[in-house]
């Protein structure tokens, strides 16, 4: 398959490694020429150049993956759409789908929204690794009118990398990630109270884990709230109500109620993560 | 040193392994005879019996460690104090110190409050392991009138296990653990919204980490709030205010403010965990 990767960061680079290893014709673009050179040298692309139209065969791409940050997906698609063949399947990897999928469908007939639930704590091509997507969920969010052949091609392609591909509506996807990914960023950040000498001395693994996603990339957190605003707000209001409930129970010394609430939380966690 | 461990669970058992390995005379007690037998068979005690006074040499104990749950510390001390030599140093391992230390000083002249910041996800003797305390903080919370020789003995003993021993007032300790341990349990539990099929399918490492301490032992969480009520409430009110701030920023679409808030959170986390 002739595949173009627009963006050679953590996701684009990792995709490149896996796709090159499976003998696809993988071309890539990055604004920085040096990143393009590195990607080719490291085997994350067969060929790469800042100007995608200068790359041999890019006009016959069967799949183009928009791998930039979520706020670049629609502008990038708008910029490249006039030059794309209407047969080319275009997909993205952003963690919000509602605001992207409807608009993207109007820009290109064969767009299919996508979201691989994979990553690591790094950023950029340096953080890219082979097999990042193996055994991880990869959501596709076709609309009712989306071409099923385009969906099948992506199911096969991402499935061949070991990803567990599943389909959801953009709305169901966005609500789910608000609950288990976007919302928790802000809950986690709310645990990051000002450091005191004693608190720093005693901070250990529990605090490390609780605050991990809240101490992550601020631009990414902002985009999650900005582009998934309604679902994130709904989740955070639920989180805030839960926290207020616990505060009231402690204030009123309703210890049995508090313990039952924690028991219910432990039970829910086991539903999310059966061991 | 002649050392008694009252309680042979995760902490008592782990202490036992380390102290036996350093050739101390370690005796232990557990309500269950079977636990006593296992502790001796596995090398977590030289001798163990449910009735501590039946153990040879227990009347000449130089150190007694109260290793039971925090709600048992004072009742246990009250029960054993009449039989203890006034020379015996008594300490505990509970994660709250304020409600314990003042009262304990009235029950036994050589009591020194203690809190090893170590553990794992298990419970009981089966979860006990050697070297649990190595490179972990171990807080001692002597009062102004506490015998310094007793403090020195414990500093040396816990230091010999590799723990990083430090002293704090009970109040400073309780405020610090409310911020980085007790409070985060409830913040973390507030992220555990009801599971939906899509959310379960997409839950991954970020949600796993954020919710870990909130999905832990409900009785322990209850005790943290109950025995460290004032400091936990102060922290949770701060957490709730932070979450409300984020919600308002998202509602009002103040994206630059929200990003700056996340940036500050990331900076704080680096202060807690410089890598």
> For residues A252 and A97, what is the distance between their CA atoms, to the nearest angstrom?
43
Q: Which of B180, B190, B259 sits opposite A246 (nearest CB)?
A: B190
Are the C-beta atoms of residues B12 and B63 closer than 8 Å to each other?
no
Are the C-beta atoms of residues B209 and A213 closer than 8 Å to each other?
yes
Q: Report the residue count for chain A.
A: 275
Please name which of A89, A125, A95, A122 lies closest in space to residue A108, comparing C-alpha atoms: A89
pLDDT digits (tens, 9 = 90+) for A48-82: 999 999 999 999 999 999 999 999 999 999 999 99
**Alpha carbon separation from B140 to B116, B218, B252 (Å, rounded):** 9, 26, 47
> For residues A113 and A100, what is the distance between their CA atoms, to the nearest angstrom?
8
**Taking the CB of residue B152, how many other CB atoms lie within 10 A of it?**
12
The answer, yes or no, to whether residue A245 has pLDDT greater than 90, is: yes
> For residues A93 and B123, what is the distance between their CA atoms, to the nearest angstrom?
41
- CB contacts of A185 in chain B (<8 Å) are 206, 262
> For residues B232 and A249, what is the distance between their CA atoms, to the nearest angstrom?
12
> For residues A77 and A142, what is the distance between their CA atoms, to the nearest angstrom?
17
- CB contacts of A247 in chain B (<8 Å) are 186, 233, 236-237, 240
With residues binned 3-state (H G I as helix, E B as strand, rest as coil), the percentages for chain A, rounded to 5, are 55, 10, 30
What is the predicted pLDDT for the residue at A275?
78
CB contact under 8 A, B202 and A139: yes
What is the predicted pLDDT for the residue at A74?
97
What is the predicted pLDDT for the residue at B122?
84
pLDDT digits (tens, 9 = 90+) for B237-264: 999 999 999 999 999 999 999 999 999 9
A68-99 in b/e burial notation, b at 16+ Cβ within 10 A?
A: bebebbbebbeebbeebeeebbbbbbbbbbbb
What is the predicted pLDDT for the residue at B27?
98
> For residues A151 and A153, what is the distance between their CA atoms, to the nearest angstrom?
5
Nearest CA in chain A to B211: A210
- CB contacts of A263 in chain B (<8 Å) are 218
Nearest CA in chain B to A275: B208
> For residues A152 and A112, what is the distance between their CA atoms, to the nearest angstrom?
10
> For residues B193 and A237, what is the distance between their CA atoms, to the nearest angstrom?
11
> For residues A193 and B233, what is the distance between their CA atoms, to the nearest angstrom?
13
What is the predicted pLDDT for the residue at A224?
96
Element (H, E) at A244: helix A229-251
CB contact under 8 A, A233 and B247: yes
Beta strand B63-66 with B2-6 is parallel
- CB contacts of A215 in chain B (<8 Å) are 265-266, 268-270
pLDDT digits (tens, 9 = 90+) for B116-171: 999 887 889 999 999 999 999 999 999 999 999 999 999 999 999 999 999 999 99
Gap from B258 CA to chain A (nearest CA, Å)? 6
The answer, yes or no, to whether residue B36 has pLDDT greater than 90, is: yes
Q: State the average pLDDT over residues A91-115.
A: 97
Nearest CA in chain A to B255: A222
Are the C-beta atoms of residues A110 and A89 closer than 8 Å to each other?
yes
- CB contacts of A225 in chain B (<8 Å) are 250, 255, 258
Q: Take residue B41 and report the two structure tokens written for it.
A: 């068979």
pLDDT band at A22 (very low <50, low <70, confident <90, very high): very high
Residues B185, B188, B190, B194: is their CA dihedral positive or negative?
negative
Q: Quickly list DSSP for A103-157.
A: HHHHH-TTEE-EEE----S--SGGG--TTTTTTSEEEE---TTS-HHHHHHHHHH
What lies within 8 Å, CB to CB, of B48 at 6+ separation is B8, B27, B28, B29, B30, B35, B36, B37, B39, B40, B55
What is the predicted pLDDT for the residue at A119?
86
- CB contacts of A235 in chain B (<8 Å) are 193
**Taking the CB of residue A268, how many other CB atoms lie within 10 A of it?**
19
Nearest CA in chain B to A258: B222
> For residues B68 and B66, what is the distance between their CA atoms, to the nearest angstrom?
6
pLDDT digits (tens, 9 = 90+) for A109-152: 999 999 999 988 788 999 999 999 999 999 999 999 999 999 99
What is the predicted pLDDT for the residue at B12?
98
> For residues B125 and B122, what is the distance between their CA atoms, to the nearest angstrom?
9
Q: Report the residue count for chain B.
A: 275
CB contact under 8 A, A199 and B240: no
Give CA A243 to chain center in angstroms.
Answer: 27
**Taking the CB of residue A224, how many other CB atoms lie within 10 A of it?**
25
What is the predicted pLDDT for the residue at A51?
96
pLDDT digits (tens, 9 = 90+) for A178-194: 999 999 999 999 999 99
ipTM above 0.85, yes or no: yes
Q: Take residue B190 and report the two structure tokens written for it.
A: 């507030």
What is the predicted pLDDT for the residue at A164?
97
What is the predicted pLDDT for the residue at B121?
78
**Edge to edge, what strands does the sheet with B25-29 contain?**
B47-48, B25-29, B2-6, B63-66, B89-92, B111-112
CB contact under 8 A, A185 and B255: no
Q: Which of B173, B239, B263 sits opposite A218 (nearest CB)?
A: B263
- CB contacts of B243 in chain A (<8 Å) are 186-187, 190, 236, 239-240, 243
**Backbone torsions φ then ψ of A113, nearest 5 degrees:** -65, 145
> For residues A257 and A265, what is the distance between their CA atoms, to the nearest angstrom?
12
Q: State the average pLDDT over residues A230-241.
A: 98
What is the predicted pLDDT for the residue at A203?
94
Gap from A72 CA to chain B (nearest CA, Å)? 17
pLDDT band at B104 (very low <50, low <70, confident <90, very high): very high
What is the predicted pLDDT for the residue at B120?
84
Determine the 3-state secondary structure of A260 from DSSP.
helix
- Percent of chain B at pLDDT exceeding 90: 97
What lies within 8 Å, CB to CB, of B131 at 6+ separation is B18, B161, B162
pLDDT band at B275 (very low <50, low <70, confident <90, very high): confident
Please name which of B92, B4, B7, B89 lies closest in space to residue B46, comparing C-alpha atoms: B4
pLDDT digits (tens, 9 = 90+) for A195-229: 999 999 999 899 999 999 999 999 999 999 999 99
Please name which of A134, A141, A137, A86 lies closest in space to residue A113, comparing C-alpha atoms: A141
pTM, rounded to two decimals:
0.92
**Edge to edge, what strands does the sheet with A2-6 contain?**
A47-48, A25-29, A2-6, A63-66, A89-92, A111-112
CB contact under 8 A, B215 and A251: no
The answer, yes or no, to whether residue A40 has pLDDT greater than 90, is: yes
What is the predicted pLDDT for the residue at A180?
97
Q: Quickly list DSSP for A30-51.
A: -SSHHHHHHHHHHTS-SEE-SS
What is the predicted pLDDT for the residue at A105?
96
Q: What is the DSSP letter of B246?
A: H
């Amino acid at each position: 398959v002739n595949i173009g990767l627009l963006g050679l960061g953590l996701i684009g680079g990792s995709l490149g490694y896996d796709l090159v290893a499976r003998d696809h014709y993988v071309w890539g673009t990055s604004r920085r020429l040096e990143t393009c050179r590195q990607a080719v040298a490291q085997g994350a692309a067969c060929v790469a150049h800042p100007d995608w139209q200068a790359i041999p065969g890019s006009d016959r791409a069967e799949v183009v993956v928009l791998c930039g940050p979520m706020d670049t997906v629609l502008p990038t698609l708008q910029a490249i759409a006039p030059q794309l063949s209407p047969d080319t399947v275009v997909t993205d990897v952003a963690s919000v789908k509602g605001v992207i999928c409807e608009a993207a469908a109007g820009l290109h007939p064969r767009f299919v929204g996508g979201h691989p639930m994979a990553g690591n704590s790094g950023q950029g091509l340096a953080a890219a690794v082979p097999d990042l997507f193996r055994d991880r969920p990869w959501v596709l969010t076709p609309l009712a009118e989306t071409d099923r052949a385009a969906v099948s091609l992506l199911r096969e392609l991402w499935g061949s990398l070991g990803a567990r591909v599943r389909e959801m509506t953009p709305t169901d996807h966005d609500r789910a990630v608000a609950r288990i990914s976007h919302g928790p960023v802000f809950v986690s950040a709310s645990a990051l109270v000002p450091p005191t000498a004693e608190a720093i001395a005693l901070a250990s693994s529990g605090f490390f884990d609780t605050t991990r996603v809240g101490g992550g990339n601020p631009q990414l957190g902002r985009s999650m709230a900005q582009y998934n605003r309604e679902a994130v707000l709904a989740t955070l209001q639920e989180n805030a109500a839960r926290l207020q409930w616990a505060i009231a129970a402690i204030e009123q010394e309703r210890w049995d109620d508090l313990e039952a609430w924690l028991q219910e939380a432990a039970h829910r966690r086991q539903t999310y993560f059966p061991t």
